[in-house]
């Protein structure tokens, strides 16, 4: 093995911590430091040195790839293009509707400065996107289904917490088993939003809040809950902390199709994750390896998981992969 790939971590929440842990599992990588907008003295890492994000340029020579661990809503739209002009980057931008414009902005910045960026890495977007593309490409006549869960949705949990009378809350997205079975058995059903997923909410009320009113406000909330069968359970703060602070997630991508004369073929990709951020972080580190290799071969600009050959993710050489995993 040659030099280790030196990975910087920009942002140190659950995702950044997960990246630091994943680097420790990959012997061909090393942490080049954590970069934060907080006071560095206030950040406790697993061992990485902490620096101010606004002083990151001073460390440029020590960073091969920078993993951006900020949020998609306000951090990445600004940080992504700005940092891709100065570093090779990998990020988990996940606002599906805004991916094309984000890609273009990062691509321009990276290309103009001979940098390589990989955007929208993780499991959805990410590995699930790959499953959809492989499935659609090898079964031209078919239908693709994505089911999420059982897992915690941050967006829906945030929506609960904005309801007056709610002190805290966690929302689980739950796939409907019967819907999955219909697809798995080779059918191509038209499934409504309500038929695919249910939503489970665990809510801690403010003192004196009206439980019935809170429940009604949640289950009728447009966009988030109105189109689903939603259950609301009221729990105390201690129960919420004890039973609902993990961040499990996962889901299923299915492609069901026909070949030849009415022959049914079904592909399924499934994830069962005890920790969504730790898994996303592990995927980011594999793609940081790919970004490093792409930059070495001067393949600059923005990339997505679709543009990256699987061999680039592995610490093994192509010859080792052929001998061991083909």
Taking contact as CB under 8 A, which single stretch among the options 15-23, 31-39, 61-69, 224-232 is the one that binds its own copies? 15-23
Buried b (16+ CB within 10 A) or exposed e, 220-246: ebeebbeebebebebbeeeebeeebee
- Indicate whether 47 belongs to the interface with its own copies (CB under 8 A): no
Residues 285-324 that bind its own copies (CB under 8 A): 286, 289, 304-311, 313-315, 318-319, 321-323
Q: Are the CB atoms for 149 and 250 separated by under 8 Å?
A: yes
Residue 162 beta carbon to its own copies: minimum distance, rounded to whole angstroms: 28
Closest approach, Cβ 136 to its own copies, in A, equals 7
Which residue in 87, 147, 172, 269 binds its own copies (CB under 8 A)? 269
| Contact call for residue 270 and its own copies (CB under 8 A) | yes
- Residue 245 zone, left/alpha/beta (φ > 0; ψ -120 to 50; rest): alpha
Token readout for 126 is: 């990410």
- Can you tell me the distance from the alpha carbon of 267 to that of 90, in angstroms, rounded to the nearest whole number? 29
* 23 vs 143: CA distance, rounded Å: 37
* Among 232, 271, 291, 295, interactor with its own copies by CB under 8 A: 271
Write out the binding residues for its own copies, residues 141-170 only, by CB under 8 A. 141
Q: Is residue 226 part of the contact set for its own copies (CB under 8 A)?
A: no
Q: Contacting its own copies (CB under 8 A), which of 41, 58, 140, 212?
A: 140
Cβ proximity to its own copies, 7 vs 204, nearer residue = 7
State which of residues 130, 203, 214, 295 lies at the interface with its own copies (CB under 8 A).
130
Residues 245-264 that bind its own copies (CB under 8 A): 259-261, 263-264
Q: How many CB atoms are located within 10 Å of the residue 15 CB?
A: 23
Q: Looking at 33, 80, 125, 175, which residue binds its own copies (CB under 8 A)? A: 125
Distances (CA, A) of 292 to 36, 66, 71: 22, 10, 23
Residue of the chain from 60, 138, 211, 226 that contacts its own copies (CB under 8 A): 138
Q: Which is nearer to its own copies, 15 or 160 (CB)?
A: 15
One residue of 83, 191, 283, 291 binding its own copies per CB under 8 A: 283
168 bridge partner residues: 204
Based on the shown chain and the rule CB under 8 A, indicate whether residue 13 belongs to the binding site for its own copies: no
113 binds its own copies (CB under 8 A): no
Q: Kind of pairing, strands 151-152 and 142-148?
A: unpaired
Specify whether the CB–CB gap between 214 and 226 falls below 8 A.
Answer: no
Query: Of 93-101, 148-156, 200-208, 230-238, which part binds its own copies (CB under 8 A)?
Result: 93-101
Contact pick of 82, 99, 143, 209 for its own copies (by CB under 8 A): 99
DSSP character string of 165-231? TEEEEEEEEEE-HHHHHHHHTT------HHHHEEEEEEEEEPTT--HHHHHHHHHT-TTTTTTSEEE
Out of 52, 96, 167, 233, name the contact with its own copies by CB under 8 A: 96
Return d(Cα 252, Cα 233) in angstroms, integer.
26
> Residue 147 and residue 141: Cα distance in Å, rounded?
20
Beta-bridge partners for 7:
31, 65
Residues in contact with its own copies by the rule CB under 8 A = 17-18, 21-22, 25-26, 96, 99-100, 103, 120, 125, 127, 129-134, 136-141, 184, 186, 259-261, 263-275, 278-279, 281-283, 286, 289, 304-311, 313-315, 318-319, 321-323, 325-326
């Amino acid at each position: 093995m040659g030099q280790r790939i030196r990975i910087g971590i920009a942002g140190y929440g659950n995702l950044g911590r997960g990246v630091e842990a994943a680097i420790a599992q990959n012997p061909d990588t090393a942490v080049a430091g954590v970069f934060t907008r907080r006071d560095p003295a206030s950040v406790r890492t697993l061992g990485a040195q902490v620096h101010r994000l606004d002083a990151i340029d001073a460390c440029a020579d020590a960073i091969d790839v920078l993993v951006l661990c900020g949020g998609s809503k306000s951090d990445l739209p600004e940080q992504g293009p700005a940092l891709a002009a100065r570093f090779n980057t990998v990020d988990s931008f996940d606002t599906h509707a805004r991916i094309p414009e984000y890609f273009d902005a990062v691509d321009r910045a990276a290309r103009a400065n001979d940098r390589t960026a990989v955007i929208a890495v993780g499991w959805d977007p990410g590995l699930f996107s790959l499953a959809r593309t492989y499935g659609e490409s090898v079964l031209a006549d078919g239908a693709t289904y994505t089911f999420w869960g059982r897992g915690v949705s941050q967006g829906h949990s945030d929506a609960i917490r904005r309801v007056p009378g709610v002190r805290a809350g966690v929302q689980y997205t739950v796939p409907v088993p019967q819907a999955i079975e219909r697809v798995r058995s080779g059918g191509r059903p038209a499934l409504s939003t309500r038929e695919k997923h249910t939503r489970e909410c665990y809510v801690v009320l403010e003192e004196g809040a009206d439980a019935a009113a809170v429940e009604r406000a949640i289950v009728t909330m447009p966009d988030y809950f109105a189109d689903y069968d939603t259950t609301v359970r009221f729990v105390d703060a201690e129960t919420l902390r004890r039973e609902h602070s993990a961040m499990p997630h996962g889901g299923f991508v299915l492609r069901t199709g026909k070949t030849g004369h009415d022959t049914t073929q079904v592909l399924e990709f499934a994830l069962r994750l005890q920790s969504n951020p730790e898994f996303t972080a592990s995927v980011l580190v594999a793609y940081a390896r790919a970004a490093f290799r792409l930059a070495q071969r001067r393949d600059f600009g923005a990339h997505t998981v679709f543009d990256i050959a699987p061999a680039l993710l592995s610490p093994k050489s192509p010859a080792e992969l052929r001998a061991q995993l083909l």
